[in-house]
Chains A and B, each alone.
Chain A
Amino acid sequence: GAGVSQSPSNKVTEKGKDVELRCDPISGHTALYWYRQSLGQGLEFLIYFQGNSAPDKSGLPSDRFSAERTGGSVSTLTIQRTQQEDSAVYLCASSPKRGGPSTDTQYFGPGTRLTVL
Chain B
Amino acid sequence: AQTVTQSQPEMSVQEAETVTLSCTYDTSESDYYLFWYKQPPSRQMILVIRQEAYKQQNATENRFSVNFQKAAKSFSLKISDSQLGDAAMYFCAYRRSGGSNYKLTFGKGTLLTVNP
The answer to whether A43 touches B44, judged by C-beta atoms less than 8 angstroms apart, is: no
The answer to whether B101 touches A55, judged by C-beta atoms less than 8 angstroms apart, is: yes
A106–B91 Cα distance when bound, in Å, is 14
Q: How many residues of B contact A (CB 8 A)?
A: 23
List residues of B (69-103) whose CB comes within 8 Å of A's CBs: 91, 95, 97, 100-103
The answer to whether A101 touches B33, judged by C-beta atoms less than 8 angstroms apart, is: yes
The answer to whether B106 touches A43, judged by C-beta atoms less than 8 angstroms apart, is: yes
Q: How far is the CB of A21 from chain B (nearest CB, A)?
A: 14
List 5 contacting pairs A-B, 8 Å CB cutoff, sorted by A.
A31-B102, A42-B107, A44-B106, A55-B100, A108-B37
Chain A interface residues (CB < 8 Å from chain B): 31, 33, 35, 42-45, 48, 50, 55-56, 59, 89, 91, 93, 95, 97, 101-102, 104-106, 108-111, 113
Chain B interface residues (CB < 8 Å from chain A): 33, 37, 42-47, 50, 52, 91, 95, 97, 100-109
